[in-house]
């Protein structure tokens, strides 16, 4: 018999608040119920609710108005990177097109970082890319390998801000990547990508940025195919 998972009031409160905002129960511009009734509705104490609201306010989800009701922000316009990290936890409630937009942002962010990193530490990437032939057809192995490659890019870029940005993508990437690499098309595209990048480094071509940009652009179309496939299966 499985034991029940322990109840975490703060985590439960954040979940209820964020998903209620994302699913439109409390859309941007609306007011949340007063503290007393909202805490009772969620099933937590008022201090727990208050603490969670303050944390979400710092991320840009809501605006707390002393003596007045708390208002839900337009989080796309008023949120920050901390909001992205919270948003990534709730994949089942993400707005339509969110992951596609995230992949489009990655096309802008990662290629120039890869160029800087490889120019700085080509030996690190030569050694790492020589490992990709061991991945087989295992989707989790591909997901871990690909994420670690991006981590190497930001860590060897010479800019300490880049790892802070990428870290906010970690939880959503892990979920997304498993779905992406579940398709042979996704695995084959990445195999070709790793090989191109390895050859570029070995031959000192200096075209890493173009190679990375090309595969990330292609990944958007593959992700759209993943989404269509999942809809067909679920339907």
**pLDDT digit of tens for each residue in the chain (235 aa)?**
444 556 689 889 999 999 999 888 999 999 999 999 999 999 999 999 999 999 999 888 999 998 889 999 998 887 776 777 677 677 666 666 778 888 898 999 999 999 999 999 999 999 999 999 999 999 999 999 999 999 999 999 999 999 988 887 777 787 788 889 998 999 999 999 999 999 999 999 999 999 999 999 999 999 887 766 555 433 3
CA distance 30 to 176: 31
Question: CA 70 to CA 10: how far, in whole Å?
Answer: 18
β-bridge partners, 71: 31, 63
Place of tokens 């652009």: 217
d(CA 179, CA 191): 16
Homologous superfamily of 96-234: GntR ligand-binding domain-like (1.20.120.530)
**Structural class in CATH, domain 9-87:** mainly alpha
pLDDT of residue 234: 37
Q: Is 169 exposed, middle or buried (0-12, 13-18, 19+ CB in 10 A)?
A: buried
Q: What's the confidence (pLDDT) of residue 98?
A: 79
Which pLDDT score, from 0 to 100, does residue 187 have? 95
Q: What is the predicted pLDDT for the residue at 91?
A: 61
- The domain spans of the chain are 9-87, 96-234
CA distance 183 to 140: 12
The reported pTM is 0.74
């Amino acid at each position: 018999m499985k034991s029940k998972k322990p109840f975490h009031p703060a985590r439960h409160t954040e979940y209820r608040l964020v998903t209620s905002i994302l699913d439109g129960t409390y859309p941007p511009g609306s007011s949340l119920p007063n503290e007393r009734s909202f805490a009772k509705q969620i099933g937590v104490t008022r201090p727990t609710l208050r603490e969670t609201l303050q944390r979400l306010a710092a991320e840009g989800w809501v605006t707390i108005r002393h003596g007045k009701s708390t208002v839900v922000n337009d989080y796309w316009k008023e949120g920050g990177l901390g909001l992205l990290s919270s948003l990534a936890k709730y994949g089942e409630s993400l707005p339509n097109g969110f992951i596609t937009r995230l992949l489009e942002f990655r096309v802008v962010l990662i290629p120039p970082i890869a160029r800087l990193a490889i120019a700085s530490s080509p030996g690190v990437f030569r050694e790492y890319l020589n490992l990709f032939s061991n991945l087989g057809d295992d989707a989790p192995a591909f997901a871990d390998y690909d994420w670690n490659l991006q981590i190497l890019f930001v860590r060897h870029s010479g800019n300490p801000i880049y790892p802070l940005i990428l870290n906010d993508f970690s939880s959503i990437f892990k979920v997304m990547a498993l779905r992406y690499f579940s398709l042979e098309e996704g695995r084959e595209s990445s195999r070709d990508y790793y090989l191109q990048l390895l050859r570029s480094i070995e031959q000192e071509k200096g075209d890493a940025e173009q190679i990375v940009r090309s595969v990330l652009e292609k990944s958007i179309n593959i992700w759209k195919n993943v989404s269509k496939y999942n809809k067909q299966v679920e339907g």
